[in-house]
Structure 1
Amino acid sequence: MHPRAREFAERAADEHGFEVDVHEFPEGTKTAADAAAAVGCDVSEIASGIVLSAGDDLVVVVTSGANRVDTSKVADLLGVESGSVSMADAGDVKATLGWSIGGVPPFCHDGDVPVFLDETLADHDRVWAAAGTPEAVFPIDPDRLRDIAGATVADVAE
């Protein structure tokens, strides 16, 4: 197992008592479509971790791979101007969350940031999320994901 995926699995167990079943795919799971093809599920079952910048703060939006994040909806949720929310800088993501873009898990972040969970993920019994690298994912019940991540379920899709 890749060291970063192992670190995520260990942190999830230590911090949340959650045993992560990491699946690694050397061909990568960089896009939701790639992840769905690798796992053998529908793209709507991919829980993509999108990191946004809202002024000086970051926010993680875990959205269905079938959806695009509506930054104006996220801005409304945060109570900030809609134009102030955009894709986060890769360096800021790594420095704040401890993970690199493409492998950001929905929980086990170094910094305390708000997490929003796309309400459409609740339509599934299981979703697949990043496990610390662009080649690693893990399955999880959406309700469990919400609880562990301390996420707010919201309409975040365009």
Structure 2
Amino acid sequence: MSIEKVKTYFKGFRIEDKIEEFEISSATVDLAAKALGIDGARIAKSLSFMVENNPIIIVMAGDAKVDNSAYKQYFHTKAKMLIYEEVHNLIGHDVGGVCPFALPGNVKVYLDVSLKRFETVYPAAGSSNSAVKLTCDELEKYCSNFVSWIDVCKGWKEIV
């Protein structure tokens, strides 16, 4: 089970006790926000894409959406999300529990700056009824195969 992989992975950092498991689903931003009793923007959703035949994950704020133009400028290709079966086979977590932890070595992780406006965020922990509360610095530290912070999302920026 994917959450067990994350718990084992977190044991290496001595943070396995930070994982919260719920009686209800946290598989979507809205469900996770309800389970945690927080604003959905603080949910750190992990979306899976294919770039040059390699799977990647972009972790972004719950209210952010991929900006196709910014994505293409950064990755030099169109945004192509993985389908359900690809997520399971290539990422190692199922849709609803995808997270940036306990990943295969070829799955690179990018964190979107949309997360940085929050003191703490809540990514999933490998199952459709789990989350872990982390600061952005902790998220960067604990994620598997972290590459960089990027700015490829829209819909979350405040108008000035």
> TM range, normalised to the smaller chain?
0.7 to 0.9
* CA 142–42 in structure 1, closer or farther in 2 if over 3 Å, else same: same
C-alpha RMSD of matched pairs (Å): 1.7
Give matches, 1:1-158, under 5 Å.
Answer: 3-14=1-12, 17-20=13-16, 21-78=18-75, 80-82=76-78, 85-149=79-143, 150-158=146-154
The amino acid of 2:27's aligned partner reads K
Deviation string, structure 1 residues 19-51 (Cα, Å, up to 9, x no partner): 131212232012111111110111111000100
Distance (Å, rounded) in 2 between the aligned partners of 1:111 and 1:141:
24
Alpha-carbon distance, 1:134 to partner: 1.0
Structure 2 residues without counterparts, runs of 5 or longer:
155-160
Query: How far is the alpha carbon of 1:110 from its aligned partner?
Result: 1.7
How far, CA to CA, are the matches of 1:140 and 1:38 in structure 2? 16
Name the CA shift for 1:120/1:126 in 2 (closer, same or farther; >3 Å): same
1:144 alignment partner AA: E
Q: Distance in 1 between matches of 2:93 and 2:14?
A: 19
Residues 76, 13 of structure 1: alpha-carbon distance in 2 compared, 3 angstrom cutoff: farther
Structure 1 portions without partners, runs of 5+? none
1:148: Cα distance to partner?
Answer: 2.5
With 67-76 and 55-64 compared, the bigger mean Cα shift is at 67-76
User: 2: distance between equivalents of 1:73 and 1:111?
Assistant: 26
TM-score, structure 1 normalization: 0.85
Q: Relative to structure 2, which stretch is displaced further, 19-28 or 39-48?
A: 19-28
User: Quick one: distance in 2 between partners of 1:120 and 1:153?
Assistant: 10
Moved over 3 A (4+): none
Identical residues among aligned pairs (%): 25
